[in-house]
Structure 1
Amino acid sequence: MASSSSSSRSINGRKASEIFQGQALLYKHIYAFIDSMCLKCIVELDIPNIIHNHGKPIPLPELVSILKVPETKFDNLGRIMRYMSHNGFFVIVKTQEETEEAYALTAASELLVKGSDLCLAPMVECVLDPTLSGSYHQLKKWIYEEDLTLFGVSLGSHFYEFLNNNPDYNSSFNEAMASDSHMIHLALRDCNFVFEGVESIVDVGGGTGITAKTICDAFPKLKCIVFDRPQVVENLSGSNNLTYVGGDMFQSIPKAEAVLLKYILHNWTDKDCIKILKKCKEAISSDGKKGKVILLDMVINENKDDQRLTQIKLLMDVTMACLNGRERTEEEWSKLFTQAGFQDYKISPLTGLLSLIEIYP
């Protein structure tokens, strides 16, 4: 029998308890892809909509009946539901009869109800598409390539070139971005001060115009231009104060009093961001007037944000690195603004992840 002192003996300078914690962390990351695949599974099975349409928490037997799951897989679906409940996507409650457990939606799974005003299911479907998510198996190869993006390594072209050449993926990506724009509307609801007094605005990379339409509804006298790749806007129709223009933001941006860049600059290198910001500065500085550029983007702040929020921001930073982009700290943002010729900026909180940054020439 080992002596009691052996359990406290260090291995490589670490206690056994510390090594076991390390093992648990390692296994958590080894199997982290299961989180994404379970999320994809409940979206593909339309489980959030089934519970929503049920009108009350649904017991597992009713769920498997609706889904027509083979009896041999009842337990397997139950395991997935239990795991996703543990992760915050469902709440397990007792039925009114107190005879069995049932599953209810949470704030997270409500965002997966298709057809609702705030639905991020298209984001799940786009990001977890095997062609795109499979690219991350090439991280090692990408690290050794001097200039290629991750998708350049795995798909043979930059991500946006891939979208241009693959209409189905382009459509999926546009739907994902549109779903995210609905979330931004919720955040902008209390930010009317940003647009008050502005007579014209260009939403660069504005997609199908969801954010622009929200702004136009709130400010009917505001002239709004949605500016995006020609493939995105070519079949879209505007209205009295909303127009669509196709083009390349690296060449020129339509002139306006304000330029909106929502989730744009994190896609690009510092060098490219400076080019884009300079084009923005040209667009808002015509006729001797000086407007402003409005950014909706992340600001990494490890000293003030809690650990969980910082983890998500740093995770997104790795994701954007694969596009040769990045998430930035305030110091990194400030440096970009100065190099692009801007004199001042103001950062306001918007959501837990996003900040609103106003930049002045």
Structure 2
Amino acid sequence: MALLTDEFSSQELLQAQLQLWHQSLGFFKSVALAIAIDLHIPDAVHRLGGAATLAEILAEAGISPCRLRDLRRVMRVLTVSGGIFTVQRQPTSSEDVVYKLTAASQLLVRDNRSTTMSLLSNVHLMLTACRQCPVSRGMHAWFHQQHDEQEEKTSPFAMAYSGNTVWERADRDAVVFPFDDAMASDTAFLMPIVLKECGEVFRGLDSLVDVAGGLGGAAAAIAAALPELRCTVLDLPQVVAKAPSGTNVQYVAGDMFESIPQANAVLLKWILHDWSDDDCVKILKNCKQAIPSRDAGGKIIIIDMVMGSGPPDIKRMETQVLFDLLIMIINGVERDEQEWKNIFFDAGFKDYKIIPVLGVRSIIELYP
């Protein structure tokens, strides 16, 4: 049977993936709207004169300041994807944007005495199925938490599933929640495209460590395409224990927060978006210690999302902001270039290159 890469071009396959993700993530449009209604965001903006900065909205709605970045992500969905609010840039203000009511959000205002027209109850009813979803309930409870910024934060996912992390649930309930299978299928889909379109990022290397590489799908694909490249997978002991035998990939049990085996390059495929900025800095510092200087060929290869990169495309933008809301349920973050840059420089790296050729994702080459 012919491979899909033989039948379709890389761009056709990436466009097909975009279509499937865009359709699948449509649920999070409803989640974002339900959160905004539950937190009385339209009311807060209305009381502030119909336009307000995010900090003003947080204070008016009584939301913890710790949620500023996360509420910005919800509002981004409601502007980019939903058109429920609009944004206006304020070049003279310390805040980057002001959020303004639209006709749609005006119809959600509870205390709007200027009109008797309201669709709040109607929309609330239509969101019932969304509100009853465990993840949606977890996100609502999470936004209502009031805690110090330094306090260890649980995730919306854990609040929805009795304190279990996404990885714990994947271990305990693999049939209903096939997380590992989903990650493996993504690797099987993406790596042939990566090697076809961007294989040069791996050429010239003698050794590579795939950090948190699971059962080695990505490393095996790279090793098959470049037999001279020695590939190693680093993952937790319980993951490595399940690794297949008789492959051309070496497996090392360990923890990326502790240390990473020495190699010319480190691969981080779809990993960093799972973690906070501080955690990403820790991981990248360990990566930096594992590789030689740039002059000696050392680099980090990151496959992840760079929000807003690539040519403008509304479906692509919507999919990125919706995926950002999805990853928020495990306290992950999808980042724009400036957010990535801050992490890279905090970790001690000096230069990077973004290659936006993987649909909603990009390859980033990071240099010490």
With the shorter chain as reference, the TM-score category is: 0.5 to 0.7
Deviation readout 1:21-64 (Å, 9 max, x if unpaired): x97xx969946979xxxxxxxxxxxxxxxxxxxxxxxxxxxxxx
| Cα distance between partner residues in 1 of 2:103 and 2:304 | 42
Superposition CA RMSD, Å: 3.4
Tell me the CA shift for residue 219 of structure 1.
Answer: 0.5
Match of 2:304 in 1: 297
**SS of residue matched to 1:182:** helix
The Cα of 1:358 is off from its aligned counterpart by: 0.2
**AA aligned opposite 2:255:** D
**Paired positions, count:** 249
Q: Distance in 2 between matches of 1:201 and 1:251?
A: 18
Aligned to 2:187: 181
For the pair 1:342 / 2:349, whether they are aligned, the reply is yes
C-alpha distance in 2 between matches for 1:172 and 1:251: 28
Q: Rg bigger for which structure?
A: 1
Identity of aligned residues (%): 38
> Structure 1 counterpart of 2:342, which letter?
K
Q: 1:197 to 1:167 in 2, by over 3 A?
A: same
Distance 1:352 1:33, change over 3 A: farther
8 Å Cα contact 2:301-2:365 kept in structure 1:
yes
Aligned pairs for 1:218-229 within 5 A? 218-229=225-236
Question: What SS does structure 2 have at the residue aligned with 1:350?
Answer: strand
Matches within 5 A, 1:189-204: 189-204=196-211
1:211 to 214, 218, 222: 218
How far residue 187 of structure 1 moved from its aligned partner, in angstroms, is 2.3
- Contact between 2:270 and 2:304, CA under 8 Å: does it hold in 1? yes
| Structure 1 residue 141: Cα displacement | 0.7
Aligned to 1:134: 134
Query: Normalised by the size of structure 1, how large is the TM-score?
Result: 0.61
After TM superposition, give the deviation of residue 334 of structure 1 in Å: 0.7
Shift of 1:260: 0.5
Q: Deviation of residue 278 (structure 1)?
A: 0.4
Alpha carbons 2:308, 2:317 under 8 Å: kept: yes
Q: TM-score, normalised by structure 2?
A: 0.60
Q: In structure 1, how many angstroms separate the alpha carbons of the residues matched to 2:125 and 2:203? A: 46
1:285 equivalent in alignment to 2:292: yes
Matched, 1:152 2:161: no
Q: Contact 2:285–2:347 (CA<8 Å) still a contact in 1?
A: yes
Q: Is the 8 A contact 1:233 1:246 kept in 2?
A: yes
Alpha-carbon offset, residue 193 of structure 1: 0.4
Give how far 1:201 is off: 0.5
Match of 1:329 in 2: 336
CA distance in 1, matches of 2:125, 2:184: 30
Alignment-derived partner of residue 248 in structure 1: 255
SS of residue paired to 1:272: helix
Cα deviation for residue 168 of structure 1 reads 3.0
- Determine helix, strand or coil for the equivalent of 1:168: coil
Deviations 1:321-352 (A, max 9, x none): 22111000001111110000000000002222
Which whole-Å CA distance do the structure 2 matches of 1:231 and 1:199 have between them? 28
1:276 to 283, 308, 312: 283
Contact 1:198/1:258 (CA < 8 Å) preserved in 2?
A: yes
What are structure 1's unaligned runs of at least 5 residues? 1-11, 35-129
Are 1:201 and 1:260, in contact at CA under 8 Å, matched by a contact in 2?
yes
Specify which structure has the bigger relative contact order, considering alpha-carbon pairs within 8 angstroms and separated by 6 or more residues.
2
Stretch deviating more after TM superposition (134-143 or 236-245) = 236-245
Query: C-alpha separation between the residues in 2 aligned to 1:235 and 1:14?
Result: 53
